[in-house]
């Protein structure tokens, strides 16, 4: 009997062993029913990481969220080279990156319904548009405005002609050293002079039928601007604007109470808070009544990367960007961190001095245009800055009509 029992056990062992082996193989190839959800990784700068982490501390739709801090420039640079397994699913981004990242398929378009698009001013939302698609949700924006020394000019100027007359009168009677403090320097600064440029009818690129920037429609020396170019010559000859004044000198003159007007942005908040005299923040008044003053808008927000699809979280990562990161309360907190205007129109400002400053600069940007987000924009700023520098350099200045025609030609050549 003993040997038979042993034989039965052996036979049973032979039967059971293949079953166990097959079970092991199936376990190895089949996903576990209890496998943890794939995490969503967000790259963002250190200043805002804590706010995003707090918002998503419980994850999103069952997915844990990893917040990784990166310098802003590094987010763009490393996105193209990061190993797939370490890549982000969502990034904090500058709207100026949109065209490049979309063209290289590093980010994916977002589907925004009418209600979602209505949360943002069209000019702010368009900062993330490329072709007919949107590649990001705006969160905050910054722009230039006119700061007026109330001790020298009790009321903000309603027209640029009145601003010019007041500024030059103050300089003539010795109460001001700088008529209009706009930082340029010998190489020019097309960013700071852009409100004036746009007010004369100039623009970087026009738009195509889809609403995207058209690199073939270059507006640096368009017909409206050419008609108004003589005004720059008048500013130069009167001393209203002089390119020898750089960004540092412009700020110093206003701080010292020796400039009635200063063109700057929210990055100058600490300087403004330390002033001992009253001041106003307002939009730069129109030069030409028929042309809007349109300062540049530097817009930041969130994009979904193409890596999210590879990681198996493409749909949920885009939902996170569209639904959660567009929230008005969240955007209020994010914009307040750096004293910028929140993009969501339902967001609010704090009642502190910082909040009032942010609101004043945000209001000044109501007619602003986004920083160009196509790769050809890199060819614009050098020639455009040079045109401003050479046409506002004093007695030996190049006539504006000639300077800006040369700039347009240089840009066209660079673009090809």
CA distance 185 to 63: 51
Do 205 and 223 lie in one domain? The reply is yes
Distances (CA, A) of 272 to 305, 321, 358, 361: 38, 34, 12, 12
* Contact partners, residue 143, CB within 8 Å, separation at least 6: 265, 295, 296, 297, 298, 341, 361, 362, 364, 365, 368
Do 154 and 283 lie in one domain? The reply is yes
What's the structural domain count of the chain? 2
Q: Is residue 240 part of a domain?
A: yes
Strands 145-149 and 133-134, sheet pairing: unpaired
CA distance 324 to 52: 10
Strands 296-304 and 90-94, sheet pairing: antiparallel
For Cα atoms 128, 310, 374, give the angle at the middle one, nearest 5 degrees.
25
pLDDT, tens only, 43-94: 999 999 999 999 999 999 999 999 999 999 999 999 999 999 999 999 999 9
Q: Is the pLDDT of residue 17 over 70?
A: no
Do 190 and 275 lie in one domain? The reply is yes
Straight-line distance from the first to the last Cα atom of the chain, in angstroms, rounded to the nearest whole number: 96
Do 75 and 209 lie in one domain? The reply is no
| Helical packing angle, 381-391 and 400-415, nearest 10° | 170
* Contact partners, residue 104, CB within 8 Å, separation at least 6: 80
Q: Is the pLDDT of residue 286 over 50?
A: yes
Residue 269, domain extent? 145-294+380-415
Do 162 and 244 lie in one domain? The reply is yes
Tell me the pLDDT band of 34, cut-offs 50, 70 and 90.
Answer: low
**Residue-level pLDDT at 337:** 92
Mean pLDDT of the chain: 91
User: Which residue in the block uniquely carries the two structure tokens 């376990």?
Assistant: 27
pLDDT, tens only, 223-245: 999 999 999 999 999 999 999 99
Tell me the pLDDT band of 7, cut-offs 50, 70 and 90.
Answer: very low
**Residue-level pLDDT at 350:** 87
Mean pLDDT of 379-408: 97
pLDDT, tens only, 328-341: 999 999 999 999 99
Do 187 and 214 lie in one domain? The reply is yes
Do 312 and 343 lie in one domain? The reply is yes
- Other beta carbons within 10 Å of 168: 18
Name the 3-class secondary structure at 143: coil
The answer to whether the CB of 373 falls within 8 A of the CB of 127 is yes
Do 259 and 389 lie in one domain? The reply is yes
Percent of the chain with pLDDT over 70: 92
Q: Is residue 21 part of a domain?
A: no
Do 346 and 310 lie in one domain? The reply is yes
Q: Is the pLDDT of residue 6 over 90?
A: no
CA distance 133 to 32: 38
Beta-bridge mates of residue 67? 42
Strands 133-134 and 137-142, sheet pairing: unpaired
Do 279 and 397 lie in one domain? The reply is yes
Q: Is residue 65 part of a domain?
A: yes
Backbone angles phi, psi at 265, to 5 degrees: -140, -170
Mean pLDDT of 266-285: 94
Tell me the pLDDT band of 351, cut-offs 50, 70 and 90.
Answer: confident
Tell me the pLDDT band of 398, cut-offs 50, 70 and 90.
Answer: very high
Do 209 and 290 lie in one domain? The reply is yes
Q: Is the pLDDT of residue 179 over 70?
A: yes
Q: Is residue 64 part of a domain?
A: yes
The answer to whether the CB of 311 falls within 8 A of the CB of 38 is yes
**Residue-level pLDDT at 416:** 87
> 0.85 cut: is pTM over it?
yes
Q: Is the pLDDT of residue 201 over 80?
A: yes
Tokens of 21: 């082996």
Tell me the pLDDT band of 13, cut-offs 50, 70 and 90.
Answer: very low
Q: Is residue 32 part of a domain?
A: no
**Residue-level pLDDT at 4:** 41
Residue 357 is inside which H or E element, if any? Answer: helix 353-364
Tokens of 13: 């062992």
Name the 3-class secondary structure at 327: coil
Q: Is residue 161 part of a domain?
A: yes
The answer to whether the CB of 347 falls within 8 A of the CB of 335 is yes
Q: What CATH code is carried by the domain that includes residue 395?
A: 3.40.190.10
DSSP sequence for 163-197 = HHHHHHHHHHTTS-S-SEE----TT--TTTTHHHH
Tokens of 397: 């200045």
- Other beta carbons within 10 Å of 354: 16
Q: Is residue 267 part of a domain?
A: yes
Q: Is residue 279 part of a domain?
A: yes
**Residue-level pLDDT at 33:** 52
Do 305 and 284 lie in one domain? The reply is no
């Amino acid at each position: 009997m003993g040997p038979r029992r042993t034989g039965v056990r052996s036979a049973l062992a032979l039967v059971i062993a293949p079953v166990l082996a097959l079970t092991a193989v199936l376990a190895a190839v089949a996903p576990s029913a209890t496998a943890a959800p794939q995490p969503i990784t967000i790259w963002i700068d250190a200043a805002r990481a804590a706010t995003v982490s707090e918002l998503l501390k419980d994850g999103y739709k069952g997915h844990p969220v990893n917040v990784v801090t990166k310098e802003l420039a590094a987010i763009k640079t490393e996105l193209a080279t990061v190993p797939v397994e370490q890549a982000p699913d969502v990034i904090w981004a500058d709207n100026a990156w949109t065209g490049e990242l979309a063209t290289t398929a590093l980010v994916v378009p977002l589907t925004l319904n009418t209600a979602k698009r209505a949360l943002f001013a069209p000019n702010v939302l368009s900062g993330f548009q490329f072709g007919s698609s949107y590649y990001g949700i705006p969160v905050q924006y910054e722009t230039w405005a006119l700061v007026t020394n109330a001790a020298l000019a009790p009321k903000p100027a309603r027209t640029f002609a009145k601003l010019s007359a007041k500024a030059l009168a103050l300089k003539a009677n010795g109460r001001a050293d700088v008529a209009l403090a706009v930082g340029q320097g010998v190489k020019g600064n097309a960013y700071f002079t852009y409100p004036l440029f746009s007010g004369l009818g100039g623009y970087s690129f026009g738009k195509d039928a889809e609403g995207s920037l058209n690199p073939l429609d270059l507006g640096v020396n368009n017909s409206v601007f050419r008609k108004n170019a003589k005004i720059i010559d008048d500013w130069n000859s009167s001393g209203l604007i002089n390119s020898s004044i750089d960004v540092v000198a412009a700020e110093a003159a206003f701080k010292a109470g020796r400039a009635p007007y200063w063109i700057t942005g929210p990055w100058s908040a600490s300087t403004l808070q330390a002033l001992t005299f009253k001041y106003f923040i307002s939009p730069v008044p129109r030069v030409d009544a028929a042309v809007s003053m349109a300062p540049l808008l530097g817009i930041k927000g969130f994009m979904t990367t193409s890596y999210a699809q590879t990681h198996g979280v493409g749909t949920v990562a885009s939902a996170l960007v569209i639904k959660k990161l567009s929230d008005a309360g969240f955007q209020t907190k994010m914009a307040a961190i750096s004293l910028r205007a929140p993009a969501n129109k339902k967001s609010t400002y704090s009642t502190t001095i910082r909040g009032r400053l942010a609101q004043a600069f945000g209001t000044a940007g109501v007619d602003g245009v986004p920083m160009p987000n196509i790769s050809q924009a890199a060819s614009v700023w050098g020639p455009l800055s040079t045109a401003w520098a050479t046409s506002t350099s004093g007695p030996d200045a190049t006539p504006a009509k000639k300077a800006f025609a040369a700039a347009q030609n240089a840009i066209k050549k660079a673009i090809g």
